[in-house]
Amino acid sequence: MTTSATATRVGWVRRVLSAVATCVLLVALGLAVALAVVPRALGGAALTVLTGSMVPTYQPGDVVVVRGVKDAASEVQVGDVVTFQPVSDDPALVTHRVVGKSFTSDGTTFVTRGDANTADDDPLVPEQIKGVAVYHVPFVGHVSLWLGGHRGTLVVAVAGALITYSVLMLLRPERARAPIPGPGPIGRPGDDLSGVARGDRADAAPVPTPGGAP
């Protein structure tokens, strides 16, 4: 294999690896933003689905991002998927769909049920509802569980990796290019052109006149 072919192959491999690395970093950054930055901006959280009660809407291992709710009585409607505390002030959370909303003299109550369930949950008061589902990210729940409370660290690490990668790409030495030769000097065969710079025009020799000295 010639040196030129080897250099071409190495350059192609480097370009492929660079593209793959860029894609991986961008995907990681996108996930970090979707699972850490956006939930915080919405005043909510990213919650991992642990059971199949919401199949087929959510599968175990999906991550559901919910926005915070201040006034569930006015913000939550039938059909919304909500995250709530089955027992008030208990940290345990459940994410099910609202299938009923009623107004009584005692206030507003909600009825929820998992999409895969056949029985309704116990009625809820607005204070028990903590968030409304906005979107979900499939298949990353196990990674989210592994990261635990370090999602913010992941965002910083990925951002730092992207910045470092960008700087390295900017500082990478440019591939050397062969100079383009300029036009050669002009003269007659046998002339001494050693003192003529390459690309400069030499003084043309005088043209002899008929019957006269050159």
Q: Specify the higher pLDDT residue, 211 or 149.
A: 149
**CA pair distance 196, 145, nearest whole angstrom:** 75
- The answer, yes or no, to whether residue 186 has pLDDT greater than 60, is no
Instruction: Tell me what the mean pLDDT of segment 36-61 comes to.
Output: 94
**Given this model, what pLDDT does residue 179 score?**
53
Confidence band (pLDDT; 50, 70, 90) for 60? very high
Q: Specify the higher pLDDT residue, 64 or 150.
A: 64
Ranges in the chain annotated CATH 2.10.109.10 = 44-137
Q: For domain 44-137, which architecture applies?
A: Ribbon (2.10)
**Given this model, what pLDDT does residue 33 score?**
87
Least confident of 29-33, 125-129, 174-178: 174-178
How does the average pLDDT of the chain come out, rounded? 80
- The answer, yes or no, to whether residue 192 has pLDDT greater than 80, is no
**Given this model, what pLDDT does residue 141 score?**
85
Instruction: Tell me what the mean pLDDT of segment 4-25 comes to.
Output: 76
Least confident of 2-6, 85-89, 135-139: 2-6
Q: Could you list the active site residues?
A: 53, 96, 121
- The answer, yes or no, to whether residue 74 has pLDDT greater than 50, is yes
**Given this model, what pLDDT does residue 202 score?**
43
- The answer, yes or no, to whether residue 51 has pLDDT greater than 50, is yes
**Given this model, what pLDDT does residue 197 score?**
47
pLDDT (tens digit per residue) in 143-185: 767 766 666 676 677 677 777 777 777 776 554 444 555 555 5
**Given this model, what pLDDT does residue 52 score?**
95
Q: Per the confidence metrics, is the pTM higher than 0.85? A: no
User: Around Cβ 92, how many Cβ atoms within 10 Å?
Assistant: 8
